[in-house]
Amino acid sequence: MARRPLPRILSKDSAQIARTQLARSRELARTAADSATDVLHPLITVSRGLRRLAAAGRRRWADTPKDKRGPLLFLLASLFLVVALVPYGPLLAVVSVMAAAAWHGRDRTPPAPEGPDEAQTERLQALYEALVPYFAGPDDPAPLYAHGGEWEKAFTAHEFEDGGRVGHLVIRYPAYFPDGDPEARARVEQLLTVKAGRGREYHFAWDEEGNQLTVAVLAPLPSDLAAQPFVTGPGETVLGFTDPSEVQRTLPLSYGEEQVDIPPVVWRTGIRSTEPHLLAMGHPGSGISTLLRSIALQALRHGDVLIVDGGGTGEYACLTGRDGVLAVECALPGALASLEWAAQETERRLISINLARQAGDPPPEDTRRPLWILVDRPSVFAHLAMTDGRRDPQTLLQVPLRHGRAANVTVVVAEQFDSAEALGDAVRQHTRARVVLGTAAPRQVETVLGVPPHTTQPAHVPPGRGFARLGTGPVHRLQVPRTPDPYDDATSDTDRQAVLDLLPPRGTALEPAPAPTEALPTDLTKPPADTAPLPAEAVAAEG
């Protein structure tokens, strides 16, 4: 049977034509409305004036005492009689009323100033003078930046906020400025941050081809969004929320009693993920534990979670004994046993998946359920292991990190900046998704993310605020959803109940299988196609 062609309305060209026609129709309607407004403007003005005159007459009549309303009516009647008897009186009266209505109906809104006022001009001139040492060249015959020069040539667009500070600025700079040098760009960005106004977040967009720098003030990210079920699919984890201009997706969230759409930073894991593992860095109190709790609550919807807490502060005690939580280890022996089991489980999954593929079968059911390994502060266990003469637990993460994507195993490691040197090479190489939370120096952020962010940090950084970068993608501003420890006394009742509602019910936690004393060799050969598997009774009889 011949394949029927798709209808024309479903083709790409037809859709493009339809969008073009729709845009053209909107433009025609807008033009017609503007033309009608211009034609009817005198009538609109006269009608507005008549309404204002009538309202003034009613107010005058209401303000007139009752004992004087009779003489006033007699005076008005005499006036109308005189107008009626005078030649061309009615015509002159109508013309006079129309002229008065046109005068009173005029637009009295003061025109907006075309340029900046005196204070704004001084601020722009100060910015221009501050940029002269960075953008001026000694051999430039016609310098764009010079002391005492005109800022109008350098600043092509500018906007101010209500407080008089710069809100948006487009800066031209000479072509010989090394805009490809990160240090040169960082110096200019730091200067603009100081001169344009402290305490705000700025976004810097460098246009190397057009030799323009766009500076925009960013609105603060909402820091009071509580933990809640997110509308995501399997393999998708919401790390936090970012600016609407950075992502093309929004999530419906409950914000108090309202329903709002917030753009998220979605991290995709699984077999087809290019960033299967994550590394989070920050200072104490920056919200690293909050991020791991948020990830654990989302991972428990579709998989199993193993938590290794090197801090030992009980930040994850609320997850102990919950369905899907394999273990929450806070001591070195338990951490070593759990991570050794995780490495063996990763190998077991790889072998099972490989045998199923050789036999032409789908992966087994016990390998499809995702396994999450959350490790908080592994440097603490590394120090304890070195003291006791044991192996570093990070060495047990090499197998899940290297082969976790194929085995549906995801590793999340969180560490503080003061112990960053203790991270192993496997953690640094295989964690392509990166998060930096809290107040951090630009050099520290660049070291973790690989590139410097195009935005600045606010003066006061709330917990869970930072930057995120997935693989080689752009750097996003990030605000982690508020997911505090429900067992903490400082947690409010609203946040505590929000986290407790997301916790799975308590059940019998699965204990990690102990490491075998002697590993048996695994047969990776595929059985012959014509050989049927032996029944269980025969296998038992042979044993």
Closest by CA position to 450, among listed 466, 465, 470 = 470
338 annotated ligand-binding residue: no
In this predicted structure, the answer to whether residue 3 has a pLDDT above a threshold of 90 is no
- Walk across the sheet containing 371-376 and list its strands: 264-268, 236-241, 475-479, 465-470, 433-437, 278-282, 409-416, 371-376, 304-309, 325-329
Write the CB contacts of 113 (distance below 8 Å, at least 6 apart in sequence): none
303 annotated ligand-binding residue: no
Q: What is the pLDDT of residues 65-83, one digit of tens each?
A: 888 888 878 888 888 888 7
282 annotated ligand-binding residue: yes
Name the CATH superfamily, with its identifier, for domain 236-542. P-loop containing nucleotide triphosphate hydrolases (3.40.50.300)
Q: Output the CA–CA distances (angstroms, integers) from residue 328 to 197, 301, 332, 515, in the order listed.
A: 46, 17, 12, 18
Task: Tell me which H or E stretch contains 430.
Answer: helix 425-430
For residue 29, how far is the Cα from the chain centroid? 36
Q: Alpha-carbon torsion 219, 220, 223, 227, what sign?
A: positive
419 annotated ligand-binding residue: no
Per-residue pLDDT, 17: 56
Architecture, CATH, for domain 118-218: Alpha-Beta Complex (3.90)
Rounded distance, CA 161 to CA 500, Å?
42
* Weakest mean pLDDT among 2-6, 121-125, 365-369, 422-426: 2-6
Mean pLDDT of 264-273: 92
Write the CB contacts of 385 (distance below 8 Å, at least 6 apart in sequence): 332, 336, 391, 392, 393
Per-residue pLDDT, 12: 40
286 annotated ligand-binding residue: yes
Higher pLDDT, 452 or 267: 267
For residue 294, how far is the Cα from the chain centroid? 16
Rounded distance, CA 382 to CA 392, Å?
5
In this predicted structure, the answer to whether residue 40 has a pLDDT above a threshold of 60 is yes
288 annotated ligand-binding residue: yes
Q: What is the pLDDT of residues 508-528, one digit of tens each?
A: 544 444 443 333 344 444 444
DSSP structure class, residue 203: E
Per-residue pLDDT, 113: 58
311 annotated ligand-binding residue: no
The helix/strand count (H/E) of the chain reads as: 15, 16
In this predicted structure, the answer to whether residue 463 has a pLDDT above a threshold of 80 is yes
Closest by CA position to 328, among listed 395, 264, 394, 375 = 375
Per-residue pLDDT, 114: 63
Q: Where are the domains of the chain?
A: 118-218, 236-542
Q: Output b/e per residue, 172-189; b: 16+ Cβ within 10 A.
A: bbbeebebeeeeebeebb
In this predicted structure, the answer to whether residue 7 has a pLDDT above a threshold of 90 is no
289 annotated ligand-binding residue: yes
In this predicted structure, the answer to whether residue 370 has a pLDDT above a threshold of 90 is yes
DSSP-derived 3-state class of residue 69? helix
Mean pLDDT of 298-307: 94
Tell me whether strands 325-329 and 201-207 are parallel, antiparallel or unpaired: unpaired
pLDDT, mean over the chain: 84
Model confidence band, residue 340 (pLDDT cutoffs 50, 70, 90): very high
Say if CB 428 and CB 448 are below 8 A apart. no
